[in-house]
Amino acid sequence: MSHIYYPSIIHPNRDARNGMYPATSFYSRLQQAHNHLVGFRHKTVFQRTWRLGNKTYSGAASTNLARFRWRTGYGAQYLRIVGLQCVANTSTGDPRTELELVNVTDAVTTTAGPWQGYIDTASTGDEPSTWRIFTDTIAVTAGKVYTATFKTYDSCRPMALLVMEIGGGTITESVSYYCAANMVSDAPILDATREKILGGLGAMYRQNGALQVNWARDDGSARTRTSATAANLVDGTTTGTPTAATYGYSCDLRYRNSSSRTGVPVELAVYGSIPAGSGTVKVIDTGGTTHLTATVNSATPGWFTATGTIAASDLKFDLQFAGDGVNTLSVYAVSLVEYES
């Protein structure tokens, strides 16, 4: 069923017949569909929940509770942030949370928040009457590499966090790849118009993909390993080829590849460190195939990346990590995104 917010379906027999002059109706429909993608086809970049009743993961001082990395999609103008907080496990201070965003491409740092929390003075539980919801919107730049750090202060206890891209209320030609050409009969068909649409569709296909997998421990601490034998990153111990029962991720990537490829391009980013030598984090499926591996080789914590492909199928994969047998690898966060340069 059609909807007023969705453009009409383009059909080749009606709108694009070989051997015929280009139809104005075809270009108009194509433009509408393309601009709809620019304005509304955006993604969730992070979501996390913490268990009710758990008051151990949030420290009295500043705590980096979660990190993630992604690439903003074309057409995205803002981040919508929605969170839930419960009472803080303290009787003093100023419990609050904030989200620090770094535009790595342009070296620009902005901070959303702070969002104030409650103080636990009566040792209450986590009943719904103690919940506080916060929302915020912050501007971002499309087509850029961003990293984010979710911080808590003075034992503030977030219970959930959702971060998603959205378009602007008004979409103009200042927005990347928005096409404002006037599609009327007898109007010239210019290269600039075709390049705007074809270039925009190509860029959005490569960089607006919805796959976003994020891992971090509840308290933001590192998972560590010295052994050169790779182990499951989620539980920290399980080794060997992943199975349906091991901790991992199930993703349906069918029909997300192009006609000339059997895989979906992805980028793996790992926030970690190692005092010397190098450690690795890899994506491995239940068939034992390693799809890509990121190498951590610095004593200074930072983001380390690798690119590769994952089979365009309905598959389950695990994140596994390993030291070099001598030096201890510390992994704080992992982000896996669908992306192609």
Q: Give the full edge-to-edge strand order of the sheet including 145-153.
A: 63-71, 145-153, 96-103, 108-116
Pairwise pLDDT comparison (298 vs 262), residue with the higher score: 298
Question: Which residue type occupies 6?
Answer: Y
Domain that holds residue 67: 44-166
Residue where a domain stops, chosen among 110, 143, 166:
166
Residues 33 and 48 in one domain: no
Residues 156 and 217 in one domain: no
* Helical pair 191-207 and 24-40, crossing angle rounded to 10 deg: 40
- Residue whose C-alpha is closest to residue 118's, from 160, 154, 163, 66: 154
pLDDT one-digit tens code per residue, 49-66: 998 888 777 777 788 999
Let me know if residue 6 belongs to a domain: no
Residues 196 and 272 in one domain: no
pLDDT, mean of residues 26-33:
80
Let me know if residue 171 belongs to a domain: no
Let me know if residue 123 belongs to a domain: yes
Residues 79 and 181 in one domain: no
**Which segments of the chain are extended strands (E)?**
44-49, 63-71, 78-88, 96-103, 108-116, 118-119, 132-139, 145-153, 157-166, 212-216, 223-225, 231-232, 249-252, 263-273, 279-285, 290-296, 302-311, 314-322, 329-338
Let me know if residue 172 belongs to a domain: no
pLDDT, mean of residues 234-245:
93
Residues 137 and 223 in one domain: no
Residue where a domain stops, chosen among 166, 198, 228:
166
Let me know if residue 281 belongs to a domain: yes
Residues 197 and 224 in one domain: no
Let me know if residue 7 belongs to a domain: no
Are the C-beta atoms of residues 119 and 91 closer than 8 Å to each other?
yes
pLDDT tier for residue 5 given thresholds of 50, 70 and 90: low
Q: Please, which residues bridge with residue 294 across strands?
A: 281
What is the percent of the chain with per-residue pLDDT over 70, rounded to a whole number? 89
Evaluate if residue 98 carries a pLDDT over 60. Answer: yes
- Residue whose C-alpha is closest to residue 295's, from 314, 310, 308, 313: 308
Residues 193 and 244 in one domain: no
What's the pLDDT at 12? Answer: 65
Let me know if residue 75 belongs to a domain: yes
Measured CA distances, 340 to 71, 132, 205 (Å): 10, 39, 9
What's the pLDDT at 121? Answer: 61
pLDDT tier for residue 17 given thresholds of 50, 70 and 90: low
Which of the residue ranges 116-130, 195-209, 298-312, 321-335 would you say has the lowest mean pLDDT? 116-130
pLDDT, mean of residues 92-104:
91
Residues 34 and 52 in one domain: no
What's the pLDDT at 1? Answer: 47
What's the pLDDT at 253? Answer: 86
3-state secondary structure of 35: helix
Instruction: Count how many domains the chain has.
Output: 3
Pairwise pLDDT comparison (15 vs 51), residue with the higher score: 51
What's the pLDDT at 283? Answer: 95
pLDDT, mean of residues 207-211:
84
Q: What is the mean pLDDT of the chain?
A: 86
pLDDT one-digit tens code per residue, 117-157: 877 665 567 788 888 899 999 999 988 999 999 999 988 88
Evaluate if residue 91 carries a pLDDT over 70. Answer: no
Residues 62 and 87 in one domain: yes
Q: Chain centroid to CA 278: how far?
A: 26
Question: Which residue type occupies 25?
Answer: S
Evaluate if residue 176 carries a pLDDT over 60. Answer: yes
Residues 162 and 310 in one domain: no
Let me know if residue 161 belongs to a domain: yes
Give helix then strand counts, H and E, for the chain.
3, 19
Residues 83 and 116 in one domain: yes
What's the pLDDT at 225? Answer: 97
Residues 282 and 327 in one domain: yes
- Which CATH number covers residue 305? 2.60.120
